[in-house]
């Protein structure tokens, strides 16, 4: 089995910077939907259940393993959606403007909290 190498080129499609704590991986997540549909989907995700938590392989769309330096540069530059996936109380989706979106299973969710 060949191991995939991280890519230094983000996809051309709409993507989200995704950090996966449990798997200690950084991804370019291409959800296959525009931002507003992604936000609605995220808000509806239930508590600690697939498709989201502990196994991001079940997210809609596709994930592309990201090179850490490229990911960090894009994160620092801003202007992109960002998500963190781990467990209910620390997983979130963030809009480019810093607004935090918490899923239904989050102890304070579902919620949209402007920065």
- The model carries a pTM of 0.87
**Is 31's pLDDT higher than 60?**
yes
**Is 1's pLDDT higher than 80?**
no
Phi, psi of 108 (to 5 degrees): -105, 10
Q: For 42-99, how does the pLDDT look when each residue is reduced to its tens digit (9 = 90+)?
A: 999 886 655 555 578 888 999 999 999 999 999 999 999 999 988 878 889 999 999 9
Q: How far, in Å, CA of 31 to CA of 52, rounded?
A: 12
Secondary structure (3-state) at 76:
helix
> Which segments of the chain does DSSP mark as H helices, in order?
35-44, 68-77
The per-residue pLDDT for 17 is 97
Phi, psi of 65 (to 5 degrees): -60, 130
């Amino acid at each position: 089995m060949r191991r995939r190498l991280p890519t230094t080129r983000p996809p051309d499609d709409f993507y989200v910077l995704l950090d996966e704590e449990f798997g200690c991986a950084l991804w370019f997540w291409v959800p296959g939907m525009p931002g507003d549909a992604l936000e609605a989907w995220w808000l509806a995700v239930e508590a600690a259940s697939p498709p989201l938590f502990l196994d991001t392989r079940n997210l809609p769309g596709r994930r592309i393993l990201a090179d850490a330096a490229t990911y960090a540069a894009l994160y620092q530059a801003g202007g992109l959606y960002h998500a963190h996936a781990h467990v209910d109380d620390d997983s979130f989706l963030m809009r480019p403007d810093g607004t935090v979106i918490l899923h239904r299973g989050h102890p304070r969710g579902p919620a949209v909290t402007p920065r």
